[in-house]
């Protein structure tokens, strides 16, 4: 399969997936979930907004929660650029592509760039945030899933190939991809920081945010997060797992927050740093390509996602999509 080529020589360096802003209906309820279950730490909060970060992160925030009616929407996904000068060059590059980047003045960030990608995904780029003490060795502050850092976003998008070409054009590399026939792209895993993904594009009605993922240190902590979710009344919010991925190979658990936003906790994965690391192909026709063991995900995991504010999803799922748990259980075995 001919995959979109990565442009390596660029005047800017997008370094990683950085932060996300979610709308929620009840701040107290949402903060409790993200602190006690996921294990994020509060940097700052009031009645209308909360800024949280992983215990390994020195940036001011990787998750912003903001009260709105209705909640259950994502405002933007954010990426870091290495320097302010490179942020200027990125703005010029995006403008030359016919996009319309604009400067935004936001709390707790340096100069910030807002732009929508060609598929309508609202993006945010910044180079600076206030630095906070890492909490990695403040063990008494570690809670729940002990989320270390934000790792990646997964999106539903109607045209994976064309949007993949945009991201490879701004320096993202393909680490893994899913195809049924070496023609159609079901999914691509794109990275900037040297592990399998910062951004995953999956075919489906969109653009929508399928999930935001945080790393957790080990399997025991992953299961502890599920135990705490059950104790606090979120047992049914544990939507998928614990299990093991095929792509990326990490152990994982997916949970829905009180507003329905999906969060993944996972045990991180391998490095893909070198220029001769070739993309790994996964065959979508293989029923178990996404999981070496266990049961399929329930239909909600495959089909539901958070809409972006002001963006109407387009497109539909393929007629022959992955087998959902409900379909699997309905077959007489």
- Mean pLDDT value across residues 270-278: 91
Per-residue tokens: 62: 């990787």
Whether residue 287 is predicted with pLDDT greater than 80 in this model: the reply is no
Burial class (CB in 10 A: 0-12, 13-18, 19+), 180: middle
pLDDT computed for residue 241 by the predictor: 92
- pTM attached to this predicted model: 0.96
**Among residues 303, 294, 299, 305, which one has the least CA distance to residue 241?**
294
* 55 φ, ψ (degrees, to nearest 5): -70, -15
User: Helix, strand or coil for residue 233?
Assistant: coil
Residues 6+ apart with CB under 8 A from 195: 151, 175, 268, 269, 270, 271, 272
pLDDT above 70: percentage of residues in the chain: 99
**What does the buried/exposed string (b/e) look like for 249-264 if buried means 16 or more CB atoms within 10 Å of the residue's CB?**
ebbbbbbbbbbebbbb
- Mean pLDDT value across residues 68-91: 96
Quick one: pLDDT band at residue 246, thresholds 50, 70, 90? confident
Whether residue 157 is predicted with pLDDT greater than 90 in this model: the reply is yes
* Cα–Cα distance measured from residue 210 to residue 232, given in angstroms and rounded to the nearest whole number: 24
For 204-331, strand residue ranges (E) read: 208-215, 238-244, 251-256, 262-266, 280-283, 306-307
* Cα–Cα distance measured from residue 11 to residue 137, given in angstroms and rounded to the nearest whole number: 37
Domains within the chain, CATH numbers bracketed:
14-329 (3.10.180.10)
pLDDT computed for residue 1 by the predictor: 73
17-to-87, 176, 231 alpha-carbon distances in Å: 15, 17, 31
How many other C-beta atoms lie within 10 A of the C-beta of residue 214? 25
Q: Which helix (H) or strand (E) holds 223?
A: helix 219-231
Whether residue 333 is predicted with pLDDT greater than 70 in this model: the reply is no
- Mean pLDDT value across residues 274-294: 85
At 131-142, the pLDDT tens digits run 999 999 999 999
């Amino acid at each position: 399969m001919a995959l979109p080529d990565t442009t390596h020589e660029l005047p800017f360096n997008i370094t990683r997936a950085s932060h996300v802003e979610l709308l929620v209906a009840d701040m107290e309820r949402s903060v409790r979930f993200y602190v006690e279950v996921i294990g994020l730490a509060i940097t700052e909060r009031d009645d209308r907004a909360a800024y949280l970060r992983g215990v390994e992160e020195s940036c001011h925030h990787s998750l912003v929660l903001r009260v709105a009616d209705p909640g259950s929407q994502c405002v933007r996904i954010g990426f870091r650029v290495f320097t302010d000068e490179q942020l200027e060059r990125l703005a010029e590059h995006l403008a030359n592509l016919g996009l319309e980047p604009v400067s935004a003045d936001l709390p707790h960030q340096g100069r910030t760039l807002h732009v929508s990608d060609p598929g309508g995904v609202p993006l945010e780029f910044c180079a600076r945030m206030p630095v906070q003490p890492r909490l990695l060795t403040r063990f008494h502050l570690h809670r729940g899933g002990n989320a270390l850092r934000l790792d990646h976003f997964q999106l539903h998008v109607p045209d994976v190939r064309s949007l993949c070409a945009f991201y490879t054009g701004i320096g993202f590399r393909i680490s893994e991809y899913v195809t049924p026939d070496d023609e159609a792209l079901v999914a691509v895993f794109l990275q900037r920081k040297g592990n399998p993904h910062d951004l995953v594009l999956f075919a489906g009605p969109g653009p929508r945010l399928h999930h935001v993922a945080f790393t957790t240190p080990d399997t025991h902590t992953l299961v502890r997060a599920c135990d705490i979710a059950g104790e606090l009344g979120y047992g049914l919010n544990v939507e998928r797992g614990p299990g093991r991925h095929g792509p990326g190979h990490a152990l994982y658990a997916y949970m829905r927050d009180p507003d329905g936003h999906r969060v993944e906790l996972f045990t991180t994965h391998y490095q893909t740093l070198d220029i001769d690391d070739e993309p790994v192909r996964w065959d979508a026709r293989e029923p178990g390509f996404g999981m070496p063991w266990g049961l399929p995900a329930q239909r909600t995991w495959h089909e539901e996602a958070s809409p972006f504010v002001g963006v109407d999803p387009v497109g539909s799922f393929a007629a022959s999509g992955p087998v959902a748990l409900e379909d699997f259980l309905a077959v007489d075995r």
